[in-house]
Amino acid sequence: MGSSLAEIQAVLPGLLLWLGRVFWVMGGYMFATGLLTVHVALTSFRARTKGAMAVVLVAGLASIGWMVGVNFILASDFKWLLLAFALRWGIALVLYGTEKEADIKQTG
């Protein structure tokens, strides 16, 4: 942002405390998203429940996809790391979709 810590503290003295709390909330959100993803992977994906892939796709776009986009807009130091996680999410969905097509061909 081009501002020193001292400048920020002088103008917004409560910002660091507020940011700490924001990151607590964001950490909880990331944990919950990961937990739900693992649960869906172990249940709905294994059972090939209709709509599971669509839900995970939308959830991925709304969570890690949006986070990556915003981090690129902000020129964040973490943008490439976050993109690596988002790409893994996308690759996993592509592999899931590919496996489904292969299963249909074998049984059809």
- The model's pLDDT over 43-65, given as tens digits with 9 standing for 90+, comes to 988 888 888 889 889 988 988 89
Q: Per the domain annotation, does 103 fall within a domain?
A: yes
List phi, psi (to 5°) of 81. -65, -45
Number of domains in the chain: 1
Q: Which residue segment(s) compose the domain that 85 sits in?
A: 29-107
Instruction: Tell me how far apart the alpha carbons of residues 20 and 10 are, in angstroms, rounded to a whole number.
Output: 18
Q: What is the mean pLDDT of the segment spanning 14-21?
A: 90
Rg (CA), the chain: 19
Predicted model pTM: 0.65
